[in-house]
Amino acid sequence: MEQNKHTGTHILKGAMILSIAVFISKIIGILYRIPLTDAIGDAGNGIFAPAYQVYMVMLTLSSVALPTAISKMVSERVAIGAYEDAQRVYKIAMRYSIIVGAILSIVLWVGADVIATTFFNMKEAAWPMRALVPAIFIVAIMAVMRGYFQGMNSMTPTAISQVVEQFVHAIVSVGLAYLLISTSLEAAVVGASFGTSVGALFALGVLVLVYYMMRPSIKKRLRKSKTTTDESSGEILKKILVMSIPIMISSSIFSIMGMIDYTMIYQILPNTIEKISQMGLLDTLPISDPSVLLDQASIVNSLGGQFSTKYTSLLNLPVSLILTLGMAVIPAISASMARQDFKDVRRKTKMVLKIGMLFAAPATIGLMIFGKQIVGMLYASAPDGGELLTYGAISVIFITIAQLTTGVLQGMGKQAVPTAHAAVACGVKVIFNIILLSMPSMHIYGVVHSTTICYFIYAALNVIYLMRTMHIHLNVKQIIIKPVLVAGVMGVVSYLLYALLYKFIGHASVCLLIVIPIAAGVYGLLGLLTHTITIKDLEHIPGGRKIIGLLSRD
């Protein structure tokens, strides 16, 4: 019993280390785009974004599912002392990964020009794609090593390598962009892309170092190994693929959707910009640099860059925080399902959605009201694009509900359900992309609105499925309406305070920095006074117990 308790604690600790590393990596990945944008501007981001999206699709195909599949197969064998079998899984997976990584790397290197011109109508994106080719091969190898370490119940190597990868990536990408911008914008974008490959190489170095440090203990285990199966290499590879392919399909939907977004932006938007030009309305576009408005390609690149950096990155910042907080309950849901304790599953599902909404509502209102000011503060040298946040901030709520309910369904063992829902939502998004991007009154806002519609449908389908199959009756008033209303009051108070401060200070960034903590305090206080935030909610929020302690004092 004591051994099981110790093992459970060790697993929980490892999962926490990994979650923290993922969150830190995501934050670095979002924040480094600020100095990068200072170097290459919206136009440079407009070239960088499609290249990076192709890279993400390649990663999905080559390696995204491998850590999960390999860790499961390795841990199963380690649990019964079959260390030799676990090592065979590692070696076979590594051979497979090297071959797939090499093939996809060659395909992208050779096909970069065709992909850049056919999909994005942008030959400048070809060399940034090639700069990402080494990363595809390296990450494929890393995926196997990370899965192996996780299967050995050692999460620290994966965690450290993820943080190192993002940190080096950020430093090198920004450094090369600043160094090469004097040569040309295209050269700076290639440098920024190559930083991804350098970051991956450093992370691989960390994993290789750890592996060699562990070799003595690995050899010791192999000498004690119990061979329990006579599985052939083909049978092991088949098991890896059977586990990997469903995860790959699920992950690939939104990676491919991202690529489709950029394809449509660069294929449809030029014609829309031409119509806007003929109407004499170019000055209505969210572009402040008059020189950009002189060239149609520059306009499209600038708008595409705003979408990828100002909209997508800043939207992902609160979402990453919310998902890190909320996803901690997913393993607990899996445990409840294993016990067939459906009442507990329903309770935890409601709890995770409530916590998610308590953070999503103020984030949505804040981005909606202060989108332009936030972009202006973070991207002082390229301040355009705040309007995209203003119009698209509502997506934070739908993304939060969609992703959290997806996690719940996965915890219930219903992986295929959210995948099907995501496919339907993305199909609808394609239709709205075509319609809205073609409208001169919408232009780049079309893809923002289609994203909102997509995640609304995705969230709605997940929630409906949970209500019908698990009979989860959600208290819409307590989970959604009250947090949104309290956040709305916070928004009104913070906007009035901002307007008052701006009259006296006259500096938007300073006013915003003063208003943000006050707004958070107003939201928390109103939430407690209206019982929107309860003591039970605080127990599941980091730092919540300290707040409970303060509230309990006489």
The answer to whether 299 and 41 have CB atoms below 8 angstroms apart is no
Give me the pLDDT at residue 7, please: 46
Give me the pLDDT at residue 182, please: 95
The answer to whether 104 and 136 have CB atoms below 8 angstroms apart is yes
Question: Which residue, chain included where needed, has tokens 């059977």?
Answer: 242
Give me the pLDDT at residue 225, please: 66
Give me the pLDDT at residue 428, please: 96
The answer to whether 81 and 339 have CB atoms below 8 angstroms apart is no
Neighbouring residues of 2: CB distance < 8 A, sequence distance ≥ 6: none
Give me the pLDDT at residue 330, please: 62
Give me the pLDDT at residue 14, please: 56
Q: How many CB atoms lie within 10 A of CB 432?
A: 18
Give me the pLDDT at residue 350, please: 87
Q: For residue 64, which of 230, 244, 288, 224 has the smallest C-alpha distance?
A: 244
Give per-10-residue mean pLDDT for the chain (554 aa). 47 61 82 92 94 94 85 82 85 95 97 96 95 97 91 84 94 97 96 97 95 83 69 87 83 86 94 94 91 90 92 86 64 73 84 90 96 92 91 95 87 84 94 96 95 96 91 87 96 96 93 96 93 78 65 60
pTM for this model (two decimals): 0.86
Q: For residue 266, which of 47, 54, 449 has the smallest C-alpha distance?
A: 47
The answer to whether 83 and 221 have CB atoms below 8 angstroms apart is yes
Neighbouring residues of 153: CB distance < 8 A, sequence distance ≥ 6: 10, 11, 14, 75, 78
Give me the pLDDT at residue 5, please: 47
Give me the pLDDT at residue 512, please: 96
Nearest-angstrom CA–CA distance, 56 and 256: 9
The CA-atom distances, in angstroms, between 84 and each of 71, 226, 465 are 15, 7, 43
Nearest-angstrom CA–CA distance, 470 and 140: 38
What value, to the nearest 5°, has the Cα angle with vertex 451 and ends 371 and 478? 75
Q: For residue 136, which of 112, 111, 159, 102 has the smallest C-alpha distance?
A: 102
